[in-house]
Amino acid sequence: MRSRYSAYVLKDLNYLLKTWHPDTRPVANDLGGTTLRWIGLEIVRTEHGSEQDSVGVVEFIASYAHAAGGKRLHEVSRFVRAQGCWLYVDGDCRLSDILRNGRCPCGSGRKFKRCCGLIAR
């Protein structure tokens, strides 16, 4: 999951498509989230994912800043192992706003409005 988040930050479309299961992989032009300014990732929990497992689950919160403020994407993602590589299958997600006076998800310790919220405007 961390490598896929990094690929979104770096806008590495090839890596995102390569690590997406072929049955659910979108076309390259339909990849959402690659134009956003990602500012933080928190892994909430994982299930399975060891060398012996063929399926895994990762729950995470990824945050991004945009012109209207900031959002948190809270997702429970499903992965399968194919030929030794973990592939993203799908996920259940919900969005919520980052509060202006809340702590910035980037880890600076400052309020969002005084940190990444400035860049978002």
Name the residue with higher pLDDT: 120 or 103.
Answer: 103
Closest CA to 117 of 43, 6, 5, 37: 37
Q: Which domain holds residue 66?
A: 2-120
pLDDT band at 120 (very low <50, low <70, confident <90, very high): low
Residue-wise pLDDT for 108-118, tens only, equals 999 999 999 98
What's 82's domain CATH number? 3.10.450.50
Q: How many domains does the chain have?
A: 1
The residue with tokens 């799908």 is 90
pLDDT of residue 28 exceeding 80, the answer is no
Outline where the chain has alpha helix (H).
2-10, 13-18, 116-120
pLDDT of residue 121 exceeding 60, the answer is no
Mean pLDDT of 51-68: 91
